[in-house]
Amino acid sequence: MNTQAVMRRVTDPHDFGRVAVVMGGSSSEREVSLMSGKGVLDALQGRGVDAHAVDGIPALLEAVRGGQFARVFNILHGQHGGGEDGVLQGALEALHVPCTGSGVLGSALSMDKVRSKWVWGSLGLPTPKFLPLPRGADVHAAAHMVGLPLIVKPASEGSSVGVSRVFDEADLDAAVALAERYPGDLLMETLIQGEEFTVSILKGEVLPSIKIVPKGAYYDYNAKYVAEDTQYICPGLAGAAEANLRALALQAFVALGCSGWGRVDVMRDRDGRNWLLEVNTAPGMTSHSLVPKAAAAAGIDYAELCWRVLETSFDQERETGNREQGVAGAGSSSRFPVPGSRSSDQGGAA
């Protein structure tokens, strides 16, 4: 499934020039990023790319301003020094240095789960009922509006950081206290009880979905990065259900202005309805990560996956050139949160 124009393929590693693999950083997801970065660096170097590790945004920008790198493979995760929130993308764009993955708009919108949901809701795409929670908000009043069971989480973190499932109002204050350990506002949303899926997108191609079956109650940080007993079923669905899920993921990805590569997380309830959770614009690339698993199911090994992600930096290079010639796009979002949509198996909903 490919809806984008043919993107550049590279056969000679020298065409990439000197590549910075930026990892680590100062976000709450630093350790995951370092694990991802090591895998990417080893894979690229193993295929002859002149790739070098750089830890964090300040060191990267200093090196880039010094003319040390031709392009950047961004495998930072998270916000506030995590390189996934549009800040790094804007700095590199200003310096005319291409980077892998989404640009400023797609990165910033995807990192902000509240605004992601406003955009999806304005387009009729299904996402769980939710409320943004500015710090100091009446969380108990919000819980009565959303209804139990519910999820409380930071609005702009990843890797299940600060996330709590709340089944009893007596547990609400502890859930809020956990989420408030992280910067920014909070998000409260309906807990969709059912099965968890993720869909990876690579250069316009939608890869097979993965059904995630953790041994514990849900897919938390331990299940993602530590446990060896989480099951990954790929493809997660079959026939029309799989096609609808992939179509929905691509719609969600494009709606937020994302490009290059990424991963869309979805819940499927007990009635077979799909509900969008979030988009990751610099997904994990560890031994437990999901994009490499989906790529392998599509016949793309880890080293080839890293190569193709690096190729997306050429697409960013082209997009920057278009903007400099006056080609620009515009986007908008609803001001108010909109609950999920209406159809029963709305993977292809518009």
Task: Choose the catalytic residue: 189, 220, 278, 315.
Answer: 278
- Establish whether 74 is a catalytic residue: no
- Establish whether 344 is a catalytic residue: no
**How far are the Cα atoms of 72, 77, 112 from residue 30, in angstroms, in the given order?**
18, 7, 19
CB half-sphere exposure, 258, CA atoms < 13 A: 33
**How far are the Cα atoms of 173, 276, 284 from residue 263, in angstroms, in the given order?**
31, 11, 9
Task: Choose the catalytic residue: 30, 71, 263, 308.
Answer: 263
**Cα 239–chain centre separation:** 25
- Establish whether 93 is a catalytic residue: no
Q: Is 77 left (phi over 0), alpha (psi -120 to 50) or beta?
A: beta
Task: Choose the catalytic residue: 24, 25, 29, 156.
Answer: 29
Task: Choose the catalytic residue: 84, 205, 265, 311.
Answer: 265
Question: Which tokens go with 141?
Answer: 């009043």
Task: Choose the catalytic residue: 182, 219, 225, 302.
Answer: 225
- Establish whether 110 is a catalytic residue: no
Question: Which tokens go with 226?
Answer: 């530590």
- Establish whether 284 is a catalytic residue: yes
Please, which residues have CB within 8 angstroms of residue 47's CB and are 6 or more apart in sequence?
13, 303, 306, 307
- Establish whether 225 is a catalytic residue: yes
- Establish whether 90 is a catalytic residue: no
- Establish whether 274 is a catalytic residue: no
Task: Choose the catalytic residue: 25, 284, 340, 347.
Answer: 284
Task: Choose the catalytic residue: 280, 289, 313, 341.
Answer: 280
Task: Choose the catalytic residue: 33, 159, 209, 259.
Answer: 159
The residues annotated as belonging to the active site are: 29, 159, 225, 263, 265, 278, 280, 284
